[in-house]
Copies of this chain bind each other. A is one copy, B any other.
Amino acid sequence: MPELRQNMVTKDWVIISTERARRPEEFRQTGDRTADILPAYDPKCPFCPGNEHMSEEVMRVPSEDGGWRLRVVKNRFPALVPKGERVREVDGLRRRLTGIGHHEVLIESPIHNTCPALETEEEMVTVLDTFQSRGRALREDPRLEHIIYFKNHGVRAGSSLPHPHGQLISLPVVPHNTRARNDEARRYFDDHGTCVVCEMLDAERSSGERIIAENEHFVALIPYAAYSPFHMWILPKIHRSSFLEAPAAELQDLGALMRNVLRRLYFGLGDPDYNYVIRSAPLRDDRSAHQHWYVSVVPRVSQAAGFELGTGMFINSALPETSAAFMRDTDPQL
């Protein structure tokens, strides 16, 4: 029989649909893996070495041969622009704000056809370090309220350029959804005196049935009320509100565990498209006892439709416990 499960962090209900449940293997992608069909270098790619003039560079991590290991550039078609004042206009029911913010692209590697699963641990950690150092620089801008760090891997995940890259967008507002989650977390703290994510992490580690892998500082698991098949959370064991406050040793561990999990996804499910997002607290409210930063990984193996649009609820056709066991048993080939 199907069941509804409530995500205690967001209070969203998810339908765990046993009538349409599929075995983990059925989510395996049958198309070619990116690495197998693309060349390692594409002279027309704006992110490949030799085409550095095609983008405005913000920073780079140099390589020993005088080139670069990673570059941060400005998005050529930015969602928001850095110049201008933050002006809020209220005109009856029309509320608007000037679209100031940053939209940066983090080119992960000079290699055109790689991806996080195939990168070295050092490369993955460099990506996280760079996200953090850009975030720390941008939070000094008093016009900004929030920064989101993410990656779109593959066309189904919204990527338009195959060369591996992450993105960050800084915002002059706290998203309504982020505020609503914070309100829920604060309410939980008021009632229990503890952070809901810390509590959930303790309970999941005791039970173990939804754990995929862990190391000293991080745990990767499938949430009890996962929104979609193989939706994963990678959670820091030490409570902090902000990704920007995580020390180097923690980022090292996060990089190792993200790579581990993304390799299981790559080998276990045949390189599905996915998004990952680093969810950190709003910039001006980032030291609270109730907010807990984490990384969410969402493989795009199912399709949201009218039901999801109309309710904000999701129908998950994979049992979280079964998905977690599959991922746990998949060899990351480290």
Cβ contacts A277-301/B at 8 Å (1 or 0 each):
1110000000000000000101000
Q: Is the CB of A4 within 8 A of B150?
A: no
Among residues 293 to 316 in chain A, which have CB atoms less than 8 Å away from a CB atom of chain B? 296, 298, 303-307, 309-313, 315
Known contacts A15-B80, A296-B310, A315-B79: A224-B277 contact under CB 8 Å: no
Known contacts A78-B19, A180-B180, A309-B298: A93-B203 contact under CB 8 Å: yes
Q: Is the CB of B98 within 8 A of A203?
A: no
Any B CB within 8 A of the CB of A43: no
Among residues 250 to 287 in chain A, which have CB atoms less than 8 Å away from a CB atom of chain B? 275-279
Q: Is the CB of B307 within 8 A of A3?
A: no
Residues of B within 8 A of A277 (CB): 306, 309-310
Cβ contacts A130-152/B at 8 Å (1 or 0 each):
00000000000000001011111
Any B CB within 8 A of the CB of A42: no
Among residues 6 to 25 in chain A, which have CB atoms less than 8 Å away from a CB atom of chain B? 6, 8, 10-13, 15-20
Chain A: how many interface residues by the 8 Å CB criterion?
Answer: 73
Residues of B within 8 A of A303 (CB): 158
Quick one: which of B158, B196, B310 contacts A150, CB cutoff 8 A? B310
Q: Is the CB of A16 within 8 A of B148?
A: no
Alpha-carbon distance between A293 and B216 when the two chains are bound, in angstroms = 51
Any B CB within 8 A of the CB of A200: yes
Residues of B within 8 A of A8 (CB): 93, 95
A17-B79, A17-B80, A93-B203 given; 14 more Cβ-contact pairs under 8 Å:
A2-B80, A3-B96, A3-B98, A13-B175, A17-B99, A19-B81, A150-B305, A151-B306, A152-B306, A157-B305, A158-B304, A175-B311, A275-B305, A275-B309
A-B contacts, 18 of them at CB < 8 A, read A2-B79, A2-B80, A2-B81, A3-B99, A4-B173, A6-B96, A13-B175, A17-B77, A20-B77, A79-B307, A158-B305, A171-B311, A171-B313, A177-B311, A177-B313, A275-B309, A276-B306, A277-B310
